Structure formats: C-alpha cells, structure tokens
Amino acid sequence: MKDRRRRRLGIAAVYLAAAFFTALGWLWSSLPAEIWLEPEQPLTLPRFGWVEPLRGVGSRNVASTRAVGSYQTTLALGGWLPVRRVRAVVTPRPEVKVCGTPFGVKMFSEGALIVGFSDLHTGQDTVNPAKQAGLHLGDRVVRMGGTSTQSNEEVSAALAAAQGGAVEVIFVRHGEQRRTVMTPAWDSAAGQWRAGMWVRDSSAGVGTLTFVDEKAGVFAGLGHPISDSDTGESVALRRGEIVACSIVGCTGGTAGSPGELKGKFLGSHALGSICINGENGVYGTTRTAFEGRTLPVAFAQEVETGEAEIWTTTQGETPRTYRVRIEKVRDADPCRNMVVRVTDPELLAKTGGIVQGMSGSPILQNGRLVGAVTHVLVNDPARGYGIFAQTMLKQAANVSETPTAAG
C-alpha cells in the first residue's frame, strides 16, 4: 500500500515538474528580448506582473540606472527565479511626426518576377520552356545568358539573343540564388522567341504613412511588406518611391472578403525614396515636408489593452481620428503585436472596419504613438493586427545604412 502511494506521489511530482518547466519555457518565449526605457524609468512589465529584474549580487539594476546606453539584465519570477537574460536600452524618449495620410507606392523589383505560365504553340507541338527548366511561380529571374533581367524588356531581349539556343538562367527562390538551363521556343502565333512565362518588374499600390522622423529625414509606413498580388511573395526592392495620393472611394469589408480603399496618385513628383521593403513595413528617406503632429513614442511594455484611437483617411487626403479598442497585446510575434477592434460607428459604417489601404494607420493611446495597423482579420473585418511603434522606429534607424539611401 505504501509502495503504491509512493509511486503515485512520484508520478504526480514528475507531472508537476514537467508542467512547471513547460510554463517557464512559455514565459521565456513570451518575454521581449529587448526593453527600451527612459533614464530613471523603472523596469516594469505590466503584462507580466510577477516578472522583475533579478535581485541580489551580480545583476545590473537597470531599473534605477540613469545613464543612456545598453545593458544586460536578468528577468526573474518574483525577482528571485531567473527566467531570461534581456537587453535593456536606456534612451531619451523618441518623438516623431505622426501622419495617417495616404501615400502612393511605386516599386521596381530586383529581377523579373514570374507571375504566371502560358504554354506555347510551336506549330507542331505545345511546350513550356520555363516549366521544363524547373522554374516556379514566384521565382525572380535576375540574369539570362549575358543579360541582366531587371525588366520585362530585358527578358524579351535575352530570349531574342539566344535565337533558340540553350541559355543559362540565374534566378532567386526563397532568398537562395539558383541556376538552370532553358531553351526558348519559337511562338509561331506571336512570331518571336518566348519562354512560356509571364513576368512582372514593378508594383504599385496605396498605403498609409505612419510617421516621419524629421531629424533623421526618414519615413515609415504600412507595417508590413509590399507583396506581389499574384504570388504573395515580398517584392525584392531594386528602387522605389512614394508619391502624393488621394482616397477616392472604398469597398467595405465583409466576413471572408476584405474591403479596400481606392486611391488616385496626385502627379509624379516623388515625396521620398523607398530604401527598405521589410517584414514590418516600408521605410525610406524624405524629399519634402509632411503634415502631421509631433508626439512621443510609447515603448512596447507600455502598450496596454483598452481604449485607443487610429488616424486614417477614408476620403481625400486628410486623416481623421476614429475610436478603437486594443483587445490583446503580445511580445513574442515580431510583426503582430496587437489585436485591434474598431468601435467607432462612423468608421464601421464607412468601411466595415479595417480594409486594405489602411495598413500603416497610426494607433495612439494615452497621447503616445503605440503602433500601426497592419492586417485585417479576414473573417472579422472589424478587427485587425497592429505592430509596435518601437519596432518600426528601430527599423527606420537602419535606413541610412541601406545602399539605396547611400546612393
């Protein structure tokens, strides 16, 4: 009887230990790897009430530091049980010009993106040289033979130059450069050498400008990358620019069908150059002044569930303020940090909630910029995701290091 009780207690202890270490693993993965603070600002994490800097000898007390700089500290349960080593960045609180205005995007890709295939009729047979060479939808063809293929015209010129002979094709798939050999076929109907693939070398669209850092001469918008509409692949940036835009209409969103703002480019004068098309937005250098309001940026740990507002434009060029509620906040996902619900009756009546083109709309709470709208929840257009403003500001700081900005 005692042996049976002892066995049960042992099994229970094993399960409790497994549950404890599983919970610790979840907490480790949920905590941010980097925390920003103002000088003399205590290191507190409201979303993790039992977590604080490790107490005792050997731990840097970042909570009381006054010096600007970067420090390592250990976060611990109750201040005693170490959970994760993190980087604390002590910096004066940043301020940016918050916008919410629509802007047009023009981007030219690095290489010719394959967006479709079409079989060729040679007069005797039906062939597809591109497929036979192993090319896939979403591949970017960067060179054919001795010709760099940055445009549709250059692809056509390379095919013509091959005159039906085998040609080496250099392409990029999922960020990895590869090579294959393709033999163009004579399209008797078109009267030219072809590969049986449709390619695209540019992209254009409408988004929302989140903020401008006037001191650095940098803008940030969208909160997500510009992707090709046919392949879903992020456009590999060769060069790009933003232009003035006016919203002229809107298709409201419904469950299962995202809505869309319809914009019109206002002239060809570039307001700025795009330097980064990254997973958390588009960033670049400014060429002119922008309308907006200068506000402080909230650090990620300061964002909380509750009432907030977004600045967005549903008609013309001037943004308006609409009420939203931040329903969830999470640190683990680098691109989807918030779940936001539109509560403003006027915006719900106009758009049904969040629609395409609103990506980048600033989210404000307690007088600070906390983030930007990124995506709509397809089955619930009243709700969408948001990204921390801190994340976007950190990415914006990298603009000056890009070749596009330098050149």
Q: Let me know how long the chain is.
A: 407
Cα first-last separation, the chain: 81
Count of CB atoms situated within 10 Å of the CB of 22 = 10
Q: Give the DSSP H or E segment for 112.
A: strand 102-117
Exposure b/e, 76-111, CB count within 10 A at least 16 = b: bbebeeebbebebbbeeebbbbbbbbbbbbbbbbeb
- Which of the residues 109, 151, 246, 359 is marked catalytic? 359
Count of CB atoms situated within 10 Å of the CB of 362 = 32
- Which of the residues 59, 202, 344, 380 is marked catalytic? 344
- Which of the residues 224, 228, 246, 375 is marked catalytic? 224
CA 104 to each of CA 123, 227, 263, 353: distance values in angstroms, whole numbers, following the listed order: 45, 15, 8, 21
Residue 300 DSSP class: G
CA 3 to each of CA 6, 10, 14, 55: distance values in angstroms, whole numbers, following the listed order: 5, 10, 16, 42
Q: Give the DSSP H or E segment for 353.
A: none
Our answer to whether residue 121 is catalytic in this structure is no
Least Cα distance to 282 among 272, 293, 292, 290 occurs for 272
Report the distance separating Cα 76 and Cα 27, nearest Å.
Answer: 10
Our answer to whether residue 375 is catalytic in this structure is no
Q: In this structure, are residues 269 and 283 in contact, taking their beta carbons and an 8 Å threshold? A: no
Nearby residues of 58 by Cβ (< 8 Å), 6 or more positions away: none
Residue 401 DSSP class: G
| Amino acid occupying residue 377 | L
Our answer to whether residue 344 is catalytic in this structure is yes
Residues annotated as catalytic are 224, 344, 359
